[in-house]
Structure 1
Amino acid sequence: FFLSAPRSRQWATMTAKDLPPLSLVGALFTYCPRLLISYVVFICATICRGIKRLVVGPPQENVNKRVLIITDYVPPQTHGIALRFQRYVEEMQKRRHEVHIFSPKMDGARYTSFCHPDLPALVNPYNKGNKMTFSAGVKLAWYLGAYQWDVVHLVYPSLLGWFVLPLCAWRAIPTYCSHHVDMELYFKKYTKGITYEIGTGFYWILFKFPAQQWGTVNASMTQCFLEEHLSMAKMGSLRTAVIPTGVQQERFMVENKQQVLHETKRLREKLKIDKNTKIFLMVQRLAPEKDTHRIFPALHELKGKLDYHLVIVGHGPSEEPLKELAKGLDVTFLGRQANSSLPPLYRAADVFVTCSRSETYGLTVLEALACGTPVVMPHCIVFDELWKDKLPTDWIFTAGEKGSLVNALRSASKAEAKVWLSNNPVTASWAKATEILLEQYDAMIKMNAPVKRRLKGLINLMALITRLLIIILALFVTYHEIKLVRKTWRFLDEWIPG
């Protein structure tokens, strides 16, 4: 499989050719037995909750929400989805909502009363920094059956759709399915032939079908990706939403110009370049689907016409082939960097560049723009929906069109580009994004309220009948005990003299 194959010096060999790893095949074989165990645990938890509800009555309704988030992506993973949900949870908890998050077991994960890194998982063979959950496990099954939830948020891609979504539908819990990865594109990049057909078939059965069948709302960062990803969304037969995105404004937006000058000077000293050299920055996973290699022909064309230095931040399976392609060009690979070190790099760069057309949002683009750095990006359905009407058109290039990327780099590296962006700043906070997400949750809860009321009425009726039956049973037992006592006294009177 791809990661275990010898690393070639040629970009053409950077796609997978072989069958999926045995670990994935093994997980699929254990999927159904583990799913059955999870169902058994859920049923036991539901019975216990039902008995408590019948005896004690319905729980008191709270003003704050009880939200269950199930995701494969959380810190310490350095992944855009992981950072996104870390921010959502922090902002929800600031608003005093009770948020429980279930995630895969991994080194460095913190256990708290609300964070449960307990889900059985295996290492993603195509991205070893991530883990893939392949079973709900006992704890999640118990929590889903035993406790009351206002919203369950399932983060896709996830193998837990067949377990979580039908049970939530049965319990009338609103479910928010957010889709963050274009898996079909990954199948195209990493597989071929029968492997591709099997992979896309399994993906539809295990991932897409339960989301479309039982998800209350299906969401993604852009409407165009959602409609392309889910056929029912395109036909208009699904309730859809655009999940909001933000940045930590206090980290990315700096008013102190001296600080920015200091960061720029420090980076130039590190790269050993003068103040007239334009710094191009790329921040991404170094993998085939990111199309990082497309920038090198443009750099060859710019050589001798524009003083530049490209800085590439990130790591991945394509790192060595990219370094080979970069020979003879002014390029520095900084490798993997902590998320906290990215804002100074964004601010010090003259232009941020991405060649990827596989993004479902492109959080690094928003981060760079929030830092006041012009961005060069390719035309694709996602970037066109998000940025075509908000940024100068000459910053956006057409992949494969001769000279298009070169012209975009030249335009975005002009001094006027940063001036334009300072006059038209891009702002998006996680506080505002979370507020919008909570409004979407509220809309789901409101939409689901009639079903909840019917269930609540039925359960209250069953609770009343149960209590009446208990009272009747108690009276019946008391009556027979009184009769038994009387018989005992009569017996004693007959056999004991005086």
Structure 2
Amino acid sequence: MRVAIISESFLPTVNGVTNSVCKVLDHLADRGHDAIVIAPAAGSPSHYRGFPVHQVPAVAYRQFPVGIPNAQVARIIARFEPDVLHAASPFLLGAQGIAAAKRLGIPSVAIFQTDVAGYARRNRLGSTAKLAWRLVKWVHDGADLTLAPSRASLADLERAGVERLALWGRGVDLQRYHPNNRMRPGASALHHLLSSGGRDAVVGYVGRVAPEKGLERLAALRGIDGMHLVVVGDGPSDESVRRLTHGMPVTFLGRLSGAQLAEAYASLDVFVHTGTEETFGQTLQEAHASGLPVVAPRAGGPIDLVDHGGNGFLFDPADDGDLRAKVETLVTDEGMRLRMGEAGRRAVLGRSWDTICDELLGVYRLVGARRAAQRRTPVGSHA
């Protein structure tokens, strides 16, 4: 199979979109398929896993490159002659790729990955939000199929009038993120340090430190006895979060990756997520894979990932006191933490990236078969 991936984000920019694209490319390479990547020019590598990466002109917006539609996109797609176009979180660049694929008779799959409604609420965009959803509908209705990462996202897209929808989640690295990591020297030493020799429960957040993550809610945890707070990540809200948590027992570990990130998860006793704009919630899966109970808002993607009372708690995002109560319950009950952590690990055992990406290959074949059937159906036929 030949797959053209057009993405609004790619290396060296690291975020959820880039991570998912890289995992799909890894799977395509491992399964012997062929692929290309089209992405905004931002210092990307010329190849990834042997697949060529085509960079197109971009402008910077809030430190992120935004691809500018241009004629070379259609030429790149036409030369490659893909069996399917994969549009990752399509916006301006992705919309052009989808339109070019349609003109060339190539089926396309669009991956929805941005909480437009949440962004609009946070920035008080008002009527602009309606315009944004009309843009989302215009972009995604051009694709043969749009894949939403959660039931909440699916409902948002349905309300916006987007057609041809299906669910497709995200995978998790079950080997890298594992409860056994707690026994590794690095993780064990870090937990010993953070927990003051085992006296405190270590409660941690992992992710971008940015306004949309709602980290100001962590201030509600001030004064919980026997708790040490950890923040893993960096971003534009770093200074304000440090200010809000000043005086609390808190450690900022900065941005981590690879084995260091896995050890950071393993050093925690409880994972807490505060943002309400997650279309999925990849860090929640990584925490569950690491054997941790998760506390997250009852909003967006976490609703699908957290079994309330089973492998964690969902709190009312309008009530910071509810967040505090849920975290305090886990801090004071080690047995509950262990039971929920085991349940979280079991919940993700069927969500390896191989499994999730095999599902995606099935979607590629489905849209290809549908497009072929449409070409065979005579004009005006009701068959």
Q: TM-score, normalised by structure 1?
A: 0.69
Structure 1 residue 108 displacement after superposition? 5.1
Residue in structure 2 matched with residue 479 of structure 1 by the alignment: none
* Equivalent runs, 1:161-200 vs 2, <5 Å: 161-190=94-123, 192=125, 197-198=127-128
1:406 corresponding residue in structure 2: 324
Q: 1:276 aligns with which of 199, 204, 218?
A: 199
> What letter matches 1:75 in structure 2?
L
Rounded Cα–Cα distance in structure 2 between residues aligned with 1:162 and 1:147:
18
Are the aligned partners of 1:102 and 1:116 in contact in 2 as well (CA < 8 Å)? Answer: yes
2:47 paired with 1:124? no
- Residue 393 of structure 1 deviates from its aligned partner by 7.6
The reply to whether residue 135 of structure 1 matches residue 69 of structure 2 is yes
8 Å CA contact 1:187, 1:200 repeated in 2: no
For 1:358, what is the secondary structure of its paired residue? coil
Partners of 1:245 and 1:354 lie apart in 2 by: 17
Higher alpha-carbon deviation: 272-281 or 379-388: 379-388
Q: Contact (CA 8 Å) 2:8, 2:94: kept in 1 or not?
A: no
Q: Contact 1:354–1:376 at 8 Å: present in 2 too?
A: yes
Say yes or no: does 1:397 pair with 2:315: yes
The aligned residue for residue 287 of structure 1 is: 210
Show CA shifts across 1:72-130 (max 9, x none): 222322212211111111011111111211112122523366232412112231xx2x3
1:438 to 348, 355, 361: 361
1:383 and 2:302 are equivalent in the alignment: yes
Q: Match of 2:8, as an amino acid?
A: D
Distance 1:110 1:430 in 2: 24
Cα shift at 1:313: 1.4
Distance in 2 (alpha carbons) for counterparts of 1:116 and 1:381 = 32
Q: Given the alignment of the two structures, is residue 152 of structure 1 paired with residue 77 of structure 2, yes or no?
A: no
The 2-side partners of 1:215 and 1:248 are apart by 29
Tell me, yes or no, if the aligned pair for 2:230 and 2:253 is still in contact at 8 Å. yes
Task: Report the AA paired with residue 296 of structure 1.
Answer: A
- What are the equivalent positions in structure 2 for 1:11-410 lying under 5 Å apart? 65-107=1-43, 109-111=45-47, 114-125=51-62, 128=63, 130-138=64-72, 140-190=73-123, 192=125, 197-198=127-128, 201=131, 203-204=132-133, 206-212=135-141, 214-231=142-159, 233=161, 238-253=163-178, 255=180, 258-259=183-184, 262-268=185-191, 270-271=193-194, 273-300=196-223, 302=224, 306-388=225-307, 392=310, 395-401=313-319, 403-410=321-328
| Rounded Cα–Cα distance in structure 2 between residues aligned with 1:265 and 1:354 | 23
Distance in 2, matches of 1:256 and 1:227, equals: 37
CA distance in 2, matches of 1:449, 1:402: 53
Question: What is the match of residue 448 of structure 1?
Answer: 371
Structure 2 Cα separation of the partners of residues 110 and 450 of structure 1:
36
**When you count helix as a share of all residues, which structure comes out higher?**
1
Query: Taking every aligned residue pair, what percent have the same amino acid on both sides?
Result: 24
Shift of 1:358: 0.6
Instruction: Tell me which amino acid in the other structure corresponds to 2:65.
Output: K
The alpha carbon displacement at 1:433 in A equals: 0.6
Gap change, CA 1:258 and 1:335, over 3 Å in 2: closer
**SS state at 1:142 partner:** helix
CA distance in 2 between counterparts of 1:383 and 1:256 reads 24
Residues 216, 241 of structure 2: 8 Å contact kept: yes
C-alpha distance in structure 1 between counterparts of 2:150 and 2:182, whole Å: 34
SS of match in other structure, 1:249: coil
CA distance in 2, matches of 1:263, 1:453: 60
Aligned residue pairs, count? 372
Structure 1 residues 354, 91: closer, same or farther in 2, change over 3 A?
same
Q: Which ranges in structure 2 are unaligned for 5 or more consecutive residues?
A: 379-383
1:182 and 1:360 in contact (8 A); partners too: yes
Counterpart Cα distance in 1 of 2:175 and 2:71: 38
User: Deviation of residue 404 (structure 1)?
Assistant: 1.6
Conserved 8 A contact 1:157-1:181: no
Structure 1: where are the runs of 5+ without partners?
1-64, 456-498
Relative distance call for 1:78 and 1:162 in structure 2 (3 A) is closer
SS of residue paired to 1:78: coil
Preserved contact between residue 118 and residue 276 of structure 2 (Cα < 8 Å): no
How far apart, in 2, do the equivalents of 1:273 and 1:218 lie?
48
Looking at secondary structure, tell me which structure has more strand per residue: 2
Confirm or deny: 8 A CA contact 2:274 2:297 kept in the other structure.
Answer: yes
Give the whole-Å Cα distance in 1 for the aligned partners of 2:320 and 2:210: 23
In structure 2, the residue matched to 1:418 is: 338
Kindly state the Cα deviation for residue 206 of structure 1 after the two structures are TM-superposed.
Answer: 4.4
Structure-2 change in CA distance of 1:89 and 1:342 (3 Å): same
Q: Provide TM-score, normalisation by structure 2.
A: 0.88
Which protein is bigger by CA-based radius of gyration?
1
Cα distance in structure 2, aligned partners of 1:200 and 1:253: 42
**Pairwise CA distance, 1:238:** 1.7
CA-atom RMSD in angstroms: 2.5
Q: Aligned with 1:275: secondary structure?
A: coil
* CA distance, structure 2, for counterparts of residue 335 and residue 423 of structure 1: 29
CA offsets, 1:112-165, max 9 Å, x none?
66232412112231xx2x321122452x22122334221101112421344222
Tell me the SS of whatever aligns to 2:198.
Answer: coil
AA paired with 1:290?
K
For 2:352, the equivalent position in structure 1 comes to: 429
Structure-2 change in CA distance of 1:166 and 1:411 (3 Å): same
Q: Partners of 2:100 and 2:187 in 1: how far apart? A: 54
Deviates more, 1:359-368 or 1:275-284: 275-284
Q: Distance in 1 between matches of 2:192 and 2:151?
A: 43
